[in-house]
Homo-oligomer: A and B are copies of this chain.
Amino acid sequence: MSPRPMVRPGGRSARVQESVHAAVRELVEEVGRDALTVPMVATRAGVTPSTIYRRWGDLQELLSDVAVERLRPETDPADLGSLRADLDAWAEQFLDEMASPSGRAYIRDALLGDPDGTNAGQCSAYAAEQIDAVLARAVQRGEPVPETELLIDRVVAPIMYRILFRPVPLDAAYARELVTNALYAQQFEAGARPTRAAAPRRSNGKPEN
Contacts and interface: CB of A to CB of B under 8 A. Distances in A.
Q: A interface, by DSSP: helix, strand, loop or mixed?
A: helix
B168 A123 contact: no
A54 interface: no
Given A180-B193, A184-B193, A185-B185, A207 B169 contact: yes
Nearest to A177: B195
A209 B124 CA distance: 23
A43 B163 CA distance: 37
A96 B158 CA distance: 20
A47 interface: no
A188 to B, nearest CB: 7
Nearest to A152: B161
Contact of A108 (B101, B111, B195): B111
A197 B181 contact: yes
A181 B185 contact: yes
Nearest to A100: B209
Nearest to A150: B181
Given A177-B200, A180-B195, A160 B154 contact: no
Contacts of A112: 108, 111-112
Contacts of A188: 188
A169 B117 contact: no
B197 A177 contact: yes
A125 to B, nearest CB: 9
A173 B96 CA distance: 33
Interface in A140-197: 152-154, 156-158, 160-162, 164-171, 173-174, 177-178, 180-181, 184-185, 188-189, 192-193, 195, 197
Given A101-B208, A157-B158, A161-B161, 5 more contacts: A112-B112, A124-B161, A168-B200, A170-B207, A180-B193
Interface of A: 96, 99-101, 108, 111-112, 117, 120-121, 123-124, 152-154, 156-158, 160-162, 164-171, 173-174, 177-178, 180-181, 184-185, 188-189, 192-193, 195, 197, 199-200, 202, 204-209
